[in-house]
Amino acid sequence: MPKIMLAEDDATMLSLLRTLLKIEGFETVTLNEQENVLDALTREQPDVLLLDVHLTQGNGLDFLREIRSEPNLLKVFIIMQSGMNLAPECLAAGANIFLLKPYMPDALTNAIKSGLNQNKS
């Protein structure tokens, strides 16, 4: 079962994402507020990371740059999300896909499936 890590600090959004992804057959793990993103990724080894730009524990773009500087994490497919259109910045920093909130559930599941297919090749 593919594993998706959710780095989202809005409790309502997190609950909705967990429910949607469970229905779609994905295992989800979440990043807690006290946890370092790099440590969590190394420990959990998710197939896909859904990373919000604005997090309580810091800036998702900064986390993205840190992740992309780690050779052992380069294969993680990263989907960035935000309520502001930061697609150019996110993609330039190393995100594979950017989703503008609010988005339809199909947009997320299609992005995840794209990442899973890319990781197979």
- Phi and psi for 75 in degrees, rounded to 5? -80, -10
What is the per-residue pLDDT across 36-68, written as a single tens digit (0 to 9) for each?
Answer: 888 999 999 999 999 999 988 889 999 999 999
Is residue 117 classed as helix, strand or coil in its secondary structure? helix
What is the per-residue pLDDT across 8-30, written as a single tens digit (0 to 9) for each?
Answer: 988 999 999 999 999 999 999 99
The pLDDT of 88-112, averaged and rounded, is 96
Average per-residue pLDDT for the chain: 92
Banded model confidence at residue 110, pLDDT cuts 50, 70, 90 = very high
Residue 24's contacts (CB-CB under 8 Å, 6 or more residues apart) are 109, 112
* pLDDT > 70? residue 115: yes
Instruction: Say whether pTM exceeds 0.75.
Output: yes
- In angstroms, rounded to a whole number, what is the distance separating the alpha carbons of residues 82 and 100? 5
Structural domains in the chain, CATH included, are: 3-101 (3.40.50.2300)
Instruction: Give the pLDDT of residue 121.
Output: 59
